[in-house]
């Protein structure tokens, strides 16, 4: 069987083209959209990601500033900064970069981000609104999975989707987004008994656990669609996914590549959220 590559580059380009137009219109009306990234770590991978977001924002006409609180920042200091930015009318979007300092959990501080500026949907309020089917920003990575499937004409309604991973960043919010698409969803995790039996019964498998090569051909039925959300460091220092692509290729009908699949769509959606937040603030 030929395995179609579910690339995200074309979709990201289309999203970015629209975002750039909307950002330009906003700039003419009252100034460019402004995103502020809050960082409290000295992690090299985090630094690379922040840089990539700044470059992406710059290409689209979005102002992007960074507040570096240092790797030893306290939960109180992080909450105070997030509250200040949330109250600043000159800031349209706020994003808290992980990892956080030792002893500080995302749940401890993310509630300080105002929901209307929480463009990556990390706060308890944003997640609650998603679960209740109310307007708000979903986590961009979870949303990217649905948008990628839509772009490649992969039907979700009525189909069985197995989501491997139950994080608040991808797994749980993705389950709600898939339910909104009328999919039948199974959420798998480290305590799932006989994972291959569960995933191989699904029409679509989404791997989002952060373990390189966890999902193999044994986890996938013939003709299934596999979407790989994982970004792990490979043996050679490159980026690899949660799916063992070699063993899945030829068995799955379609597979998203890593890199080049979900990743570029995630960044494009984040930038679209910034523009949407700015438009809502000025409405």
Q: Which residues does the annotation place in the binding site? A: 165-167, 231
Dihedral angle sign, alpha carbons of residues 211, 55, 12, 67: positive
Work out the widest C-alpha separation in the chain, in whole angstroms: 57
Which residues make Cβ contacts (< 8 Å) with residue 126, sequence separation at least 6?
A: 115, 118, 136, 137, 138
What backbone torsions phi and psi does residue 160 show, to the nearest 5 degrees? -90, 120
The answer to whether 205 and 230 have CB atoms below 8 angstroms apart is no
**Binding positions for NADP(+):** 165-167, 231
How far is 272 from 232, CA to CA, in rounded Å? 26
Report the relative pairing of strands 239-240 and 232-233 from DSSP bridges.
antiparallel
Strand partners for 225: 204, 254
Whether the link from the prior residue into 212 is cis, omega within 30° of 0, is no
């Amino acid at each position: 069987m030929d395995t179609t590559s579910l690339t995200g580059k074309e979709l990201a380009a289309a999203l970015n083209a629209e975002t750039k137009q909307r950002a330009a219109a906003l700039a003419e009306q009252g100034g460019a959209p402004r995103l502020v990234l809050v960082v409290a770590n000295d992690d090299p991978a985090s630094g690379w990601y922040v840089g990539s977001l700044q470059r992406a924002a710059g290409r689209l006409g979005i102002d992007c500033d960074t507040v570096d609180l240092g790797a030893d920042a306290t939960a109180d200091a992080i909450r105070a900064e997030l509250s200040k930015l949330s109250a600043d009318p000159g800031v349209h979007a706020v994003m808290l970069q992980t990892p956080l300092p030792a002893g500080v959990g995302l749940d401890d501080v993310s509630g300080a981000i105002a929901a209307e500026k929480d463009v990556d949907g990390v706060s308890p309020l944003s997640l609650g609104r998603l679960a209740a089917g109310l307007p708000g920003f979903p986590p961009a990575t979870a949303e990217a999975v649905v948008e990628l499937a839509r772009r490649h004409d992969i039907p979700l309604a009525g189909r069985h989707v197995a989501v491997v991973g139950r994080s608040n960043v991808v797994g749980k919010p993705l389950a709600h987004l898939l339910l909104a698409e009328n999919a039948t969803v199974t959420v798998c995790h480290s305590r799932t008994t006989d994972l291959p039996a569960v995933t191989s019964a699904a029409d679509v498998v989404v791997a989002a656990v952060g373990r390189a090569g966890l999902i193999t051909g044994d986890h996938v039925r013939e003709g299934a669609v596999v979407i790989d959300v994982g970004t792990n460091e490979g043996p050679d220092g490159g980026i690899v996914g949660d799916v063992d692509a070699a063993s899945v290729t030829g068995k799955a009908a379609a597979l998203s590549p890593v890199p080049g699949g979900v990743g570029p769509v995630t960044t494009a959606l984040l930038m679209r959220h910034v523009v949407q937040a700015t438009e809502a603030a000025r409405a």
